[in-house]
Structure 1
Amino acid sequence: MTLSVDAVPDQDRKGPGRPRSARVDEAIVEAVFELLSAGQSADGISIEAVAAKAGVGKATIYRRWPNKEALLIDAVLAMKGPLPEPRGESARDDLVILVAAMRNKRMEQYGKATACLMPELFKSPEMHRVYQGVAEPRRELMRSVLRRGIASGELRADLDVEMSVLVLSGPTLAQNMLRWNPNVPDDNFAESLVDFVLRGAHA
């Protein structure tokens, strides 16, 4: 759905010195998501198309981002959202929280958008670095949960932390982006995946 300028007023047009409108920023990034989720490749997206989708002028976008690449980078950053907060009660429960945060309803749209961004990540070292920078805090959060589980005796002392992070994250991303195995139900996905992995990780 295309947003109108009236619905999302651009405070940038009201004179110098005014703060940027967060609503306009969100509308522009949302327009990128919608275009990617509709199957538009990152290469094929233009500033003109984003502006039309967001209901703003091209100049409004260029006041915020110097080029399309910078806009895509911010879209990747916004895609992930804030870090989830583990409770610290058990490694199992905290891992469920982390995996579930990657499988919320919003992630279905983001998964499609990420799939369309994949060619850009392969071609552009800068985009790949940005994506890694966005993913790394989440990986480190999962590492910290696993290390805490090892320290408490809940998990095996010889557990390969990096491989565990990969095994927990990979299927989640594959289901988000590709619905890789439609025979795996969405209901209780996080609990099922974590419990499956932990069968070999428990002390």
Structure 2
Amino acid sequence: MTIQEPVTARPAGRPRSEKAEKAIIDATLDLIGEGMGVSELSIEAIASRAGVGKTTIYRRWSNKEDLVVDALSTLKAPLPVLTGESVRADLISLLDAMRREAGQRRSRCVMNIAMNEADRHPRLMERFLKRAVEPRREAMRAVIERGIASGELRADLDVDLGMAILSGTMLWHTKWGPAGDLPADLAERVVNAALAGMAPEGR
């Protein structure tokens, strides 16, 4: 009696190369960072810079917009793990992630160039904001709403205004503040100042 080895089905298509994908993402960001606007950016230019064929790109991304959204999203740090122990600590964690992102000069340059074309590519920017920015907004909203429910924040606090105070202050420092490295304690200082007006009296 002959025992046959089980036949393992091979997955359809060729496995994606992580190395190739990284090269494509890096090429996209490099070209934007060098001043090439999203409108001028082409799959041909990206393929040439990455050292891959156009078909390699199209296997992963169906169009240029999809690729640019994925590339820009890699510049955003993952959401920090929030302990839930205190609203203050969680807000500091969220804002410090913004500080760390802003400290990467290449990332800041690429984002500034890309965002300057938001009016010309509203769909692309809408998708980027939904994927990379909205989760951070929702995380901050959840922390503030939790603080209101627990009594750590004022019961009458306007959640949207609180979010604007916190994120807006950080954006001022990261985009228009004094040149140079951002202080390591910036997030803590911003949160402390904001909570002075957002915490209930006596806390």
Which bin holds the TM-score, normalised by the shorter protein?
0.7 to 0.9
Give 1:190's aligned residue.
187
Q: Which of 94, 106, 109 pairs up with 1:109? A: 106
Asked if the contact 1:120/1:127 (under 8 Å) is kept, the reply is no
Closer, same or farther: CA 38–191 of 1 in aligned 2, 3 Å: farther
CA deviation after TM superposition for structure 1 residue 44, in Å:
2.5
TM-score (norm: length of structure 1): 0.80
CA deviation after TM superposition for structure 1 residue 200, in Å:
1.1
Closer, same or farther: CA 70–162 of 1 in aligned 2, 3 Å: same
Q: Which of 150, 167, 170 pairs up with 2:168? A: 170
- What 5-or-longer segments of structure 2 have no aligned partner? 1-11
CA distance in 1, matches of 2:159, 2:14: 48
Q: Which of 34, 38, 44 pairs up with 1:38? A: 34
Q: Does 1:58 align with 2:44?
A: no
How do residues 20-169 of structure 1 correspond to structure 2 at under 5 angstroms? Answer: 20-104=16-100, 107-134=104-131, 135-169=133-167
CA distance in 1, matches of 2:83, 2:24: 34
Give 1:6's aligned residue.
none
Closer, same or farther: CA 170–50 of 1 in aligned 2, 3 Å: farther
CA distance in 1, matches of 2:55, 2:169: 41
Give 1:11's aligned residue.
none
CA distance in 2, matches of 1:161, 1:117: 29
Aligned length: 186
Give 1:199's aligned residue.
196
SS in 2 for 1:120: coil
CA distance in 1, matches of 2:180, 2:47: 38
Segments of 4+ in structure 1 off by > 6 A? none
Amino acid at match of 1:102: M
Amino acid at match of 2:142: S
CA distance in 1, matches of 2:89, 2:14: 45
TM-score (norm: length of structure 2): 0.80
SS in 1 for 2:99: coil
Q: Does 1:19 align with 2:15?
A: yes
RMSD: 2.3
Closer, same or farther: CA 54–183 of 1 in aligned 2, 3 Å: closer
Asked if the contact 2:29/2:72 (under 8 Å) is kept, the reply is no
CA distance in 2, matches of 1:143, 1:125: 25
Question: Identity over aligned residues, as a percent?
Answer: 44
Closer, same or farther: CA 67–183 of 1 in aligned 2, 3 Å: closer
Asked if the contact 2:88/2:191 (under 8 Å) is kept, the reply is yes
Asked if the contact 1:111/1:173 (under 8 Å) is kept, the reply is no
Amino acid at match of 2:151: G
